[in-house]
Amino acid sequence: MSRATLAGGTPEARVVKQAIQWMLRLQNSPDRELHAACERWRAAHHDHETAWQRVTGLNQELQNGFHAVPTARVALDTLENASQRLRRRQALKLLSTFAVGGSALWLSRDIAPWQRMLADYGTGVGERRRVTLADGSELQLNTDSAVNLRFDERQRLLVLERGEILVNSAGDPRRPLRVLGRDGLFEALGTRFVVRQDADSTRLSVSQGAVAIAPLGLGHSVAVAEAGQSYAVDPHGARLAQQPDMDSGAWAEGLIVTRDMRLADFLGEIARYRHGHLGCAKEVADLRLSGVFRLDDTDKLLALLPQTLPVRVMRRTDWWVTVEGWA
């Protein structure tokens, strides 16, 4: 088996990444010399051609299916008025969201590194980042997140490609600050808030001011979240969420603050900040945990659990950790 091909005939991520880079270069500067160089790369190895066909096929599927996805009017206006280059870059980074067709499913497993690489701002697993934007707003990215900026004379748009961000918006009466995510559009009304994309919905948590919510499937605002409120948003609506058992913005200070949180849910949060598998046995999943924990070293954090709960931390490898009860 070729080193560039994984089991089952799928090119490895390195080769697919090269194919995406070639596609972007050709879309941005489609000259004859660049086309010839791409042809030479494709001919150099059969895995190159396989990756190229799958990536270009996926790109076509996405272009054919993108406008069938219900979106808010303002989101469509934003995307359609963006430059052609930005639209193509965003299309590539939204593959895992819309998953159009079989080849999208093939690629979605490894889309995260490409999203971070191509985004204006990104973080890897376990990383956090703080950025002061040109308008004076402060943007913070949590672990494994990616954001693109679309600032013009009409609006200040943050496109959340994946992960979680905290926004402290600066005032600008002529240009509203908005966050466009997979499930909705969020407009800041002089505010500090967190937007987090989970597997089945997007969570909005407001700590100061207010945020208007427009689910992408409805095309208009349906609610205004006030300070202290959290909403769960999907393309078809927004519902007021129960008070979370975790401080939604504590991660920006490198902390996780819990209030009577299930151990299984706690470990699910910690798993976002580390590579590999982190889970727990069923018999300890419903144990409750309250406290303040530092996120900078998750191994040290896990070592604290047996001091407060009747559990032990079992390490099969550095990448496979399970929390179990004492036998």
Residues of the chain with pLDDT > 90, as a percent, come to 53
Name the strand (E) or helix (H) holding 173: none
pLDDT band at 134 (very low <50, low <70, confident <90, very high): very high
Q: How confident is the model at residue 33 (pLDDT cuts 50, 70, 90)?
A: confident
Q: Annotate 16-53 with b (16+ C-beta within 10 A) or e (fewer).
A: bbbbbebbeeeeeeeeeeeeeebeebbeeeebbebbbe
Per-residue pLDDT band at 4 (split at 50, 70, 90): very low
Residue 171 DSSP one-character state? P
- Each residue's pLDDT tens digit, 255-297: 999 999 999 999 999 999 999 999 999 999 999 999 999 999 9
Q: Which residue has the higher pLDDT, 100 or 81?
A: 81
299 and 317 Cβ atoms separated by less than 8 Å: no
Residue-level pLDDT at 190: 80
Stretch 169-183: mean pLDDT? 91
pTM score of the predicted model:
0.68
Walk me through the domains of the chain, giving residue ranges and CATH numbers. 13-70+83-111 (no CATH), 121-240 (2.60.120.1440), 250-325 (3.55.50.30)
Quick: pLDDT tens for 183-238.
Answer: 999 999 988 999 999 988 999 999 999 999 999 877 677 899 999 999 999 888 99
d(CA 250, CA 227): 16
DSSP string, 223-245: EEEETT-EEEEETTEEEEPPPPS
- The burial class, CB within 10 Å (0-12 / 13-18 / 19+), for 86 is middle
Strands 156-162, 177-180: pairing is parallel
* Alpha-helical regions (H) of 205-297: 263-271
